[in-house]
Amino acid sequence: MSSNRTPIRPEGNRPSFAALAAVVLTIALASAGAQGRGPAETDLCKLYTCDQGGIIRGLTSGKRMALVFTGGSFADGGGHIRAVLKKKSIRAGFFFTGDFYRTQAFEGLVRGLISDGHYLGPHSDRHLLYCDWNDRSRTLVTHDEFRNDLLANYRAMERFGIARDRAPYFIPPYEWYNAEIAAWTRDMGIVLFDFTPGTSSNADYTTPSMKEYLPSAVIYDRILAYEKKDPRGLNGFILLIHIGTDPERTDKLYLKLGDLLDELGRRGYSFIRIDDLLKSR
């Protein structure tokens, strides 16, 4: 959820991790360049945890997880996030809308993230809402609208030298999709994934005027509490934070990023790029 147009989607509305684990994502990806590549043709949901045909958790042999950031209208945390990750030698994934990539004020940030070795990918060109919040099976866009929007996102990335075959991983706008959207993505040779639910980290966009508002201290505590609650800990976890939020939210979760990474490091976790996490076995 990375736009000031974001509706509220409670995390609890999601099905369980393994609800659609038997869904097959057969994807043939073109060979990738220096940025990274997705797995070759394989049944991805037999390897990873899926929901509605999209990957929501990786599979690793140890305490490894991926950190991803999305951006649409705001980038106020970009400089801070970049500095923290550089200091800790962590590479993350950044997924931006076409509008974000086209915003001149964000150009330096995007180029800096690329030079730092982070993974950059698409997040829908115009941050479309793909499916109904209450009836997830009801798709709100046509196939052509979906395809043209995603291709426009890739065109916006090309000006930064990011070719489509170097960015096969895609996180949907609002982090909300259904099985039909996952199938359309698969038909394009692109891998749809989403954050791993359970920590409420995605609620860092909420503002005090919203009844669903969560202070950053609460989110921080929930992340660490979930690590103890889940038998797997955070192994293979995809943790999502927004690169910027509405100015009305002055309590920014990204300002706690350094402390969070330190604590997870003390608990034995390391961070790898999302493309590396989804190639892990």
The answer, yes or no, to whether residue 180 has pLDDT greater than 80, is: yes
Predicted pLDDT at 280:
54
- CATH number of the domain at 70, please: 3.20.20.370
Instruction: Name the packing angle between helices 78-87 and 257-266 (round to 10°).
Output: 30
Q: Which domain holds residue 112?
A: 37-277
Could you tell me the pLDDT band of residue 6, with boundaries at 50, 70 and 90? very low
Residue 18 forms part of a structural domain: no
Predicted pLDDT at 63:
95
Residue 255 forms part of a structural domain: yes
Q: Which residue has the higher pLDDT, 240 or 32?
A: 240
In this prediction, residues 253-270 reach a mean pLDDT of 98
Residue 251 forms part of a structural domain: yes
Q: Which of 253, 252, 234, 244 is nearest to 196 (CA)?
A: 234
Residue 144 forms part of a structural domain: yes
In this prediction, residues 165-176 reach a mean pLDDT of 96
As a whole number of angstroms, the distance between CA 129 and CA 27 comes to 24
The answer, yes or no, to whether residue 250 has pLDDT greater than 70, is: yes
Residue 184 forms part of a structural domain: yes
At residue 114's C-alpha, the angle toward residues 199 and 236, to 5°, is 30
Residue 72 forms part of a structural domain: yes
What's the pLDDT tens digit per position in 42-80?
478 888 999 999 999 998 778 999 999 999 999 999 999
Total of domains in the chain: 1
What's the pLDDT tens digit per position in 183-227?
999 999 999 999 999 999 999 999 999 999 999 999 999 999 999
DSSP H/E element including 231: none
Contacts of 39 (CB under 8 A, 6+ apart): 27, 29, 47, 191, 278, 279
The answer, yes or no, to whether residue 90 has pLDDT greater than 60, is: yes
